[in-house]
Amino acid sequence: MPNYMSPFTTMINLSNGLIPIAAVVQKRYLHDLEGMFADSTAEDALMINNPLLYEVQEATQNPMEEGQLRYSTTTIYPGKVGDEYYFTKGHYHAIGSRAELYMGLAGEGYLLLMSPENEINVQRMTPGAMSYIPPYWAHRTINIGKDNFVFFACYPADAGYDYASIADKGFAQIVVERGGKPTLIENPKWEK
Ligand code: M6P
Ligand code: ZN
């Protein structure tokens, strides 16, 4: 007989992503993303204040086993390093064949994706946007607005995180402000 888990319900505030009884809250400061922004001078200058870039509230601590799901909300604060908008670290799934689903809850963001062949794709996310991350695509979210960008995520619990590939090379393109608008440009630090 399998060891059955008990069903449960987690309340999520759909206007701000708050999970009152979050299992874990992860806070990511600029220091945690050291070297990931294109403008190193701007990054170094801002490092003195080490601003909080984003928080992840985990709704569950479900076992990281095949067949299980985990879900969370992420809040990315508004801001830029130089002219590059605040973003999440970004990752491939350690088990590449695992997909993920995002839903916009508040604010405005971009979901930046990159295939294993370095093809770039961008999805604009606003409240109600259900954005599908197919298997094998690296994914990063970016706050392109003036308010908090908040989204919900649901993913297979065994997906895991491959952060190293993104930390080393980044994405082939980055999102910067040009003439007051978010604009996709080639990543000056990109190396294949
Ligand atoms: C979403 C999910 C999480 C992820 C978080 C932040 O909530 O994809 O699994 O941890 O975004 O992204 P990252 O882990 O790349 O910092
Ligand atoms: Zn993921």
β-partners of residue 101 are 132, 154
Q: What is the pLDDT of residues 28-47, one digit of tens each?
A: 999 999 999 999 999 999 99
Which pTM value belongs to this model?
Answer: 0.97
| Torsion sign across C-alpha atoms 32, 37, 39, 40 | positive
Shortest-distance atom of ligand 1 to CA 151: 7
Residue 11 has pLDDT above 80, yes or no: yes
Give the confidence band of 2 by pLDDT, cuts at 50, 70, 90: low
Residue 1 has pLDDT above 70, yes or no: no
26, 29, 72, best to mutate for ligand 1 pocket (most atoms within 8 Å of CB): 72
Structural Rg of the chain based on CA atoms: 17
Q: Which of 8, 148, 170, 161 is nearest to 76 (CA)?
A: 148
- Residue 20: CB partners within 8 Å, gap ≥ 6? 11, 13
For the chain, the maximum distance between any two Cα atoms, rounded to a whole number of angstroms, is: 62
Instruction: Tell how far CA 171 is from the center of its chain.
Output: 13
Length of the chain equals 192
What are the extents of the domains in the chain?
24-186
pLDDT for 106 equals: 98
Residue 169 Cβ inside 6 Å of ligand 1? The answer reads: no
CA dist., res. 62 & res. 157, Å (int): 7
- Residue 75: CB partners within 8 Å, gap ≥ 6? 16, 17, 54, 55, 57, 148, 149, 150
Q: 93 C-alpha vs ligand 2 centroid, how far in Å?
A: 6
Any alpha helices (H) in 63-189, and if so which ranges? 164-169
Which residues, chain by chain, have CB under 5 Å from ion ligand 2? 100
pLDDT for 169 equals: 87
pLDDT for 21 equals: 92
DSSP per residue, 38-92 = S-HHHHHHHHTT--EEEEEEES----S-TT-EEEEEEEEPS-EETTEEPB---BB
Looking at the structure, give the CATH architecture of the domain made up of residues 24-186: Sandwich (2.60)
Q: 90 C-alpha vs ligand 1 centroid, how far in Å?
A: 7
CA dist., res. 182 & res. 2, Å (int): 50
Shortest-distance atom of ligand 1 to CA 74: 7
**What 3-state class would DSSP assign to 31?**
helix
